[in-house]
Amino acid sequence: MAIQFREVSYHYPSGGVNFYQAITDISLEIAPKDEFICLVGETGSGKSTLAQHMNALIFPTSGAVEIFGSKITSKRNKKIKYNDLRKHVGLVFQFPEYQLFEETVEKDIMFGPLNFKVPHDEAKLLAEKAIRQVGLDETYLKRNPFNLSGGEKKRVSIAGILALDPSILVLDEPTSGLDPAGKKQLMELFAKIHRDTGKTTIVITHDMDLVYEYATRVLVLHEGGLVFDGVPEALFRRDDLQSFSLDYPETIRIMKLVKTEFDLDIDIYKQTVTEAAREIERVMLG
């Protein structure tokens, strides 16, 4: 296993400043390859806290997180090179575009590799590769990041993480602030990187339509606890999603409406509108 949580809890010292939401007694395993995981849950459920445990940005209060063989507990261990773990697990924060600061896109992408003592020439090559991976061409490398659109800035900041060639990619609400077309493009980009490289990808999102369309596995956090870990369809077959402040995907919601209104024996678990339309036609037209 690439990442293993064993009874991990995170709480703040009482009276301290609470930058992170608490999580309680979380155990789970994440494979290094081929998983496309969506992490969902209401605001304050601990999603970002959980994500930041995955590359040792924060340490558990109790329990342990094992990241590629290094065991992270509440106590710092001098033998563990925490920075190196961050190379294995690339974390892209929400609104990463706010963290661009260099005068060219190239310098911004090279910043991470140079920080990890990658020679300058090699870092340059990594930047060229990374910019293509996020679907932009090399002319972008010489541009000033501040003159890019919101979607392009997001791509550049993601390229900065990809340039480190992490084994696992963790993205905290990557699509927020984008219009539907931008959202779709970005999710397609993650799906493509996932297909091409097999890298396990973990996306934090509120958007159940995206979960249904892309995830192979979904993790649900509720009030700091892990309340579901399985395939999306199994989640959407449950009738208690409201108690976790979660919505059903639009297609399922609409198919339920149609099923009830026309008393049809249709399979409501269709991922896309087109599949839903064909299902209704199949049953009604025979």
Partner 1 sequence: MIEVKDLSFSYTGKRMILKDISLKIEPGEWIALLGHNGSGKSTFAKLLTGLLEPASGSVEIDGIKLEEDAVYEIRKKIGIVFQNPDNQFVGVTVRDDIAFGMENLSVPREKMLEKIHFYAEKVGMAAFLDKEPANLSGGQKQRVAIAGILAMETKIMIFDEATSMLDPYAREELLGYIRQLHEEGITIIMITHDIEEAMLADRFVIFRDGALFADDLKERLLVNPELFRLASLDLPAQIRLANDLQDTGRLKAVKEFLWRSSFGK
Using CB atoms within 10 A of its CB, is residue 261 exposed (0-12), middle (13-18) or buried (19+)? Answer: exposed
Written as six digits, the tokens of 67 are 């990241």
* Sites for partner 1 among residues 167-196 (CB under 8 A): 173, 176-182
Q: How far apart are CA 130 and CA 158, in angstroms?
A: 9
Of 70 and 176, nearer to partner 1 (C-beta) is 176
In this complex, which beta carbon is closest to partner 1, that of residue 165 or of residue 247?
247
Rounded Cα gap, residues 207 and 227, in angstroms: 18
Q: Output the smallest distance, CB 276 to partner 1, in A.
A: 6
Q: Which two tokens mark 192?
A: 């493509």
Please give the helix or strand (H or E) that residue 200 lies within, else none: strand 200-204
Q: Which of 32/182 has CB closer to partner 1?
A: 182
Neighbours of 10 (CB within 10 A): 24
**Measuring CA to CA, how many Å separate 282 from each of 11, 57, 107, 233?**
52, 51, 55, 21
Considering only 1, 31, 231, 273, the residue that binds partner 1 (CB under 8 A) is 273
Q: What's the CA gap between 63 and 75, in Å, rounded?
A: 11
Binding to partner 1 by residue 135, rule CB under 8 A? no
Compute the least distance from the CB of residue 205 to partner 1, in Å.
10
- Give 203's Cβ-side CA count (13 Å radius): 29
- Which one of residues 31, 231, 234, 284 is an interface residue with partner 1 (CB under 8 A)? 284
Instruction: Give the footprint of partner 1 on residues 144-163 (CB under 8 A).
Output: 149-151
Q: Count Cα atoms within 13 angstroms, Cβ side, for 222.
A: 11
Binding pattern for the stretch 12-51 against partner 1, x by CB under 8 A and - elsewhere: -----xxx-x-------------------xxxx-------
In the complex with partner 1, which residue's Cβ is closer, 170 or 246?
246
Q: Where along the sequence are the contacts to partner 1 (CB under 8 A)?
A: 17-19, 21, 41-44, 95, 149-151, 173, 176-182, 206, 209, 245-247, 250-251, 254, 257-258, 261-262, 273-274, 276-277, 280-281, 284-285
